[in-house]
Each structure stands twice: as structure tokens, then as C-alpha cells.
């Protein structure tokens, strides 16, 4: 289902006392913000679920949706895919086609995913400055030892990007399993960090994002976040 879009200047005219012609000046003055970012153009397209504010007051009134999903293996972290089932296929919600994914998981990675129609909220979660910790349960092909803990805390060098990862906390649970908490989300980061030790990741499961945890949510199921969860996470 595709949601109807409209030009920003027409939306402003319908939702405020300003005329269509006034919108260009409002944009130049950076008084209009769209999904947390300054408006770009009078021709910018918005939907009923876009968050538009004028002088700090929200004009759009569609209900924001915040949803948690326990992703199983074998699903693409996308809203559409021509070849594979996606995480959206698991969701039954009247406006599920307006949702977008906040922090993707690989095809065979399982665990906590967040979806929303609130662009400003998802950007807040994704900003590096937020330093929101993500925790994973990891199963490895080779046994772990204490040297991993120090290396992860110091940071692992990625030659391709010429950078060192930010400090990460590693807890060895058993010889072949660990819990890893990190604040970054680089491409295949967890697998590449263990790859530094030539240790292959056999299974990867995300259990939390910040203070948000799966709790008893079963694999393949989803639910709406509560207001308390949003407040406790500092993301309301």
C-alpha cells in the first residue's frame, strides 16, 4: 500500500495560517523541520505520517508507531525485496507499509529489531553521538580466551576503512559463547571483530538496544513499545 504524498508548501498551507508562497521564506529561515531535519524545498514530498514542525510546533497529527520485533533467521531486513521474505511480512498492522527499519540485522542474524514511522526518532537512535549500546549473544567456532576481552576493549583495527572500532564490552559466557555490547553498527562489525582472531561466528542474536530488551517476546513475534519503555530509554 502506497501512502499519498503532497508537496510541502501545500501541506504548510493546509496545516497553518501561512500561504503557499510563504513556505519558501519559512524554509530559508529554517523554521520548518521535516522528520528532524530542516526542510529542503517547497517541492519536498510529505505524507500523513511525516513529522513536520513549524517554529517547533508539530503540524502533522498521524499517530507515531514504535514496534519491537524478534527477527528469525532467513528474513531480509528491508521493507521490500523481490526475492526473499522481509521482516515486514511478519507484521500485522493497518499501517505497516509506512514503517521503516531502525538498525538492520543480517539475513541469518536473529533478535531485536525496531521499526517505526517516526523518522526523527529513528535518526536519534542511529546517531553516533547517542552512543546507544547494542548487546548480542554470539556463538563461535573456536574457543574464546581472555585476550579477546582486552582486544575488544582496546578496539579492533579495520584496514579497509582505516579505522579502529570503539571500545566494546565482551563477556565470555562459555568456551564458545559470549555476550558483546557495542555502540557502533558498522557493516558486519561483530563478525569482522571476531574474524580478527580467525574465529567464525556461527550464530548471532541481538538481545537489547539501549534499555529496550526482548523480554519474553517469542521469535517471529512483534509488539508495540510502551510509553514507559520509550521514556526509560530516553527516546520519547
The whole-angstrom separation of Cα 153 and Cα 173 is: 17
The whole-angstrom separation of Cα 119 and Cα 3 is: 15
The secondary structure of the chain in percent helix, strand, coil, rounded to multiples of 5, reads 25, 30, 45
**Active site includes 55?**
no
C-alpha 164 chain-centroid distance: 22
Catalytic residue, chosen from 106, 118, 232, 236, is 106
CA distances from 196 to 159, 163, 190 (A): 11, 14, 10
Spell out the residues 6+ positions from residue 101 whose beta carbon is closer than 8 angstroms to its own.
77, 78, 79, 87, 113, 114, 115
Active-site residue set: 106
Amino acid at each position: 500500500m502506497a501512502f499519498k504524498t503532497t508537496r510541502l508548501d501545500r501541506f504548510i498551507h493546509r496545516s497553518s495560517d501561512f500561504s503557499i508562497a510563504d513556505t519558501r521564506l519559512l524554509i530559508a529561515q529554517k523554521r520548518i523541520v521535516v522528520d528532524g531535519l530542516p526542510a529542503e524545498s517547497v517541492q519536498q514530498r510529505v505524507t500523513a505520517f511525516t513529522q513536520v514542525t513549524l517554529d517547533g510546533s508539530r503540524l502533522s497529527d498521524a499517530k507515531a508507531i514504535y514496534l519491537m520485533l524478534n527477527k528469525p533467521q532467513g528474513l531480509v531486513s528491508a521493507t521490500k525485496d523481490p526475492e526473499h521474505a522481509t521482516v515486514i511480512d511478519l507484521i500485522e498492522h493497518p499501517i505497516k507499509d509506512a514503517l521503516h527499519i531502525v538498525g538492520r540485522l543480517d539475513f541469518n542474524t536473529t533478535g531485536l529489531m525496531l521499526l517505526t514511522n517516526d523518522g526523527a526518532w529513528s535518526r536519534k537512535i542511529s546517531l553516533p553521538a547517542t552512543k546507544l549500546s547494542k548487546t548480542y549473544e554470539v556463538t563461535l567456532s573456536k574457543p574464546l580466551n581472555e585476550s579477546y576481552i582486552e582486544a575488544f576493549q582496546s578496539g579492533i583495527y579495520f584496514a579497509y576503512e582505516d579505522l579502529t572500532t570503539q571500545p566494546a564490552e565482551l563477556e565470555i559466557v562459555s568456551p564458545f559463547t559470549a555476550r558483546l555490547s557495542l555502540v557502533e553498527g558498522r557493516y558486519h562489525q561483530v563478525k569482522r571483530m571476531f574474524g580478527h582472531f580467525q574465529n567464525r561466528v556461527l550464530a548471532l542474536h541481538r538481545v537489547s538496544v539501549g534499555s529496550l530488551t526482548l523480554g519474553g517476546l517469542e521469535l517471529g513475534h512483534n509488539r508495540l513499545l510502551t510509553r514507559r519503555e520509550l521514556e526509560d530509554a530516553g527516546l520519547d
